[in-house]
A and B are shown apart, each in its own frame.
Chain A
Amino acid sequence: MKMKLGTMAVAAVMAASPVMADLVFPSLSYRTGPYAAGGIPFADGYADYFNLLNARDGGIGGVMTSVPECETGYNTEKGVECYESTKGEGALVYQPLSTGITYQLIPKATADGIPIHSMGYGRTSAANGDVFSNVFNYPANYWNGASGAINYLMSQGDIAGKKIALVYHNSAYGKEPIRTLEELSKKHGFELTLLPVDHPGQEQKSQWLQIRREKPDNVIMYGWGVMNQVAVQEAANIRYPMEDFIGIWWSGSENDVLPAGDAANGYKALTFHGVGSDFPVFADIQKYVVDAGNAAGAGDQIGTVLYNRGLYAAMLAAEAAKTAQEIHGTADITAAMMRDGMEALEITEAKMAALGLPGFGPEFNVSCANHGGPGLVGMTQWDASAKTWSLINEFAPSDMDVIQPLIDEDSAAYAAENNIASSCK
């Protein structure tokens, strides 16, 4: 019996200690709660890409990667616990996939010298790397998204005097675009109506009643999780024309439109990366990850919009790690080196093609002053009969004349509030 207990203990220790890996990319995921529909595919894509690198290339620069997962449930308290429990393992970069958790981690991670990559979410003014030395939000942020949506509408016709409603998650996330849209409405002369939806977003009857009454020409939505499905369904219920309904990239996945069925046909969503599984890398994922039985989660998300986004986030992290290895001449990089790598990241078409992701995202360079990337925004549309998203507008620049002053203003306020000195020379 004693023997058996001993063996069991050894087995438990063996099972508990993760594969001896050097490059740690913690995944603060949420596979439970009202936002799980968005959290699961992203976490799967993130984990699968690193699995692919391990199986196909033997890691990054010869060092294996590991992706310890920690369930946050989109809850900031659990996010803190996850951050503290994983940072000791040598975490290189955090991608919390939650604006609330990002806000919380910005000062903490900066003090600990660990970079954060909040890709298309988080604090938009973190694009100013001069103030936010450890926070990156390339290749596009919320304000690019807002401007991208307006630019798209302007390309479809004059918007002066039109009514545009913003349906948003009543949280830091949803409130982010308001300032930008207000500035844009002044510039272009459209009328903006704000319709907040409270967490978790299952109750939207009154907001859509108001839309039905006021008949805005366009509705822009900043929603996440279960809120998206409900909004699309409500829009279908009041027969709001789906072509005029535009979601941010967090409101444009299969999960959001499938429940509404055919009624969701024509719904549009912004994006900053490619959609679909028509890229060579998916063959590798099938071969090295899925067929090997290592697919993360249930393995049923491959090729969905948010899976692709997780994949893209992992790809950018891996490329930044490679850059860091080149800069510092060592394969075994630390979080501080990773930060340097992210700041020197260059994504070119040739690089993406070599990775099996040709044309997946825009080409861009990160610099110390600009952690936000180029802010190119594309538009996708849902085809309910084929059940696919397709890119209907190429990646186009957003109105940086409006956005840059807002970024400068907000980051300057943050710097003043927290006594942050300029970090770029």
Chain B
Amino acid sequence: MFYREAGDFSTSYPEDSQTFPIRFDRYRYYLVLFVAIFVIPFTINDYWVNSIFLPFLIYAIAAIGLNILVGYCGQVSLGTGGFMAVGAYACYKLMTAFPEVSMLIHVLIAGLITAGVGVLFGLPSLRIKGFYLAVATLAAQFFLVWLFNRVPWFYNYSASGQISAPERTVFGIEVTGPNTEAWATYLFCLAFVIFSAVIARNLTRGAFGRKWMAIRDMDIAAEIIGVNPLRAKLSAFAVSSFFIGISGALFFAVYLGAVEVGEAFGITKSFTVLFMIIIGGLGSIFGSFAGAAFLVVLPVVLKLVGVDWLGWPTDIVAHLQLVIVGALIVIFLIAEPHGLAQLWRVAKEKLRLWPFPH
């Protein structure tokens, strides 16, 4: 009944190869976009934005970035936190050096700088694979955090080593600093999410994505059929780091406002984003969103239910949260190793035949 292609005729190649070829799916996508852009900004307050939407949107960008590297190109990376820190510190230096420039440009340039750093740390991937590459990127994680802690130039010689975001604007509307409106920060991040998701989706189903997947599935075979591993791997690192840099810049400038590198961009951040794409689904843009939503929203929901609704002590709820999230990760990996994205795919297949499965 749903997702029927019956009566849905494509009359040209672009029409046939679009992202959502089924009409129902396409309309659903337009509806989600419409609600996200035209409904949510008018209905949210500070709490919803700062506790749920901003972290969800920002982690979604990071997850898309990491998914390109790990899910599509098969290069395991544990350096996400470090690359986010590069984005954050690049954004901070740009914000303080060029106060009159729009935040849009700062965030994009921060992404580009991170892409450069990502390529640099991606070089070892040409020689090493799998777990060994994971360890090499782990080195990037620790090195970058150490660097931002150690060199005072990065934090403008402030006494505490913290960086804090001054007020900056986009088209005259404040998006960073304390006096922002909830809708402004939300729309600002949403714009980057849509931008990232559309680019990532189109890259992954084009020539680049096919090269990445060829490398992921078997690099020697890919090389034999003419995929240049140097370019494929480094482009994956560059694109991935670009998105992660954007998310790091937004994480610092829009969401937290003040950041301490060891605490905000430590190894736990790398693992969080990695869990997101594993739970959401490797090699799926939708999976990046689903994983980010899962890990951002679930703790908040558990807290609301445990503390505010049931009135349990906060420490018990905090411990329970760890137990439940951990258990769910294990259950998910056993029951559906391909993540939430695969569940969604299966659901779509079922719905397509429903209610006449034969």
Binding site for B on A (CB under 8 A): 12, 15-16, 29, 31-32, 36, 40, 69-71, 73, 75-77, 80-81, 84-85, 87-88, 99-100, 103-104, 106-108, 110-112, 123-125, 170-173, 175-176, 178-179, 196, 198-199, 297, 406, 410, 413, 417-419
Contact = CB atoms under 8 A, between A and B. Distances in A.
A353 B333 CA distance: 61
Interface in B174-190: 177-179
A137 to B, nearest CB: 13
B351 to A, nearest CB: 31
Contact of A104 (B46, B96, B159, B256): B256
Contact of A16 (B162, B177, B308): B308
Contact of B164 (A40, A73, A107, A110): A107
Contact of A171 (B46, B255, B262, B308): B262
A199 B266 contact: yes
Contacts of B166: 417-418
Contacts of B262: 170-171, 198-199
B309 A12 contact: yes
Contacts of A81: 50-51, 300, 303
B127 interface: no
B162 A15 contact: no
A15 B312 CA distance: 10
Contacts of A103: 160, 162, 164, 258, 260
Contacts of A69: 307, 313-314
A406 B258 CA distance: 21
A410 B159 contact: yes
Contacts of B264: 76-77
Given A104-B258, A170-B149, A171-B263, A178 B159 contact: yes
Interface residues on B, range: 35 or more
A418 B308 CA distance: 36
Interface stretch (B227-235, B315-323, B335-343): B315-323
Contacts of A15: 310-311
Most chain B CB atoms below 10 A, which of A124, A170, A196, A410: A170
A179 B315 contact: no
A106 B160 CA distance: 14
Nearest to A413: B158
Given A76-B264, A410-B159, A418 B257 contact: no
Nearest to A80: B50
B258 to A, nearest CB: 4
B178 A71 contact: no
B47 interface: yes
A32 B259 CA distance: 21
Nearest to A12: B309
Interface string B122-151: 000000000000000000000000000100
Contacts of A77: 55, 256, 264
Contacts of A40: 315
Contact of B46 (A75, A84, A413): A84
A85 B162 contact: no
Contacts of B41: none
A351 B44 CA distance: 46
Nearest to B49: A84
Interface in B260-277: 260, 262-264, 266
Contacts of A112: 178
A16 B258 contact: no
Interface in B158-173: 158-162, 164, 166-167
A173 B161 CA distance: 9
Given A71-B317, A84-B50, A196-B149, 12 more contacts: A16-B308, A16-B311, A71-B303, A80-B51, A87-B46, A104-B256, A107-B164, A170-B149, A170-B262, A176-B159, A176-B160, A199-B266
A31 B47 contact: no
A425 to B, nearest CB: 23
A172 B160 contact: yes
Interface in B77-107: 96
Contacts of A106: 258
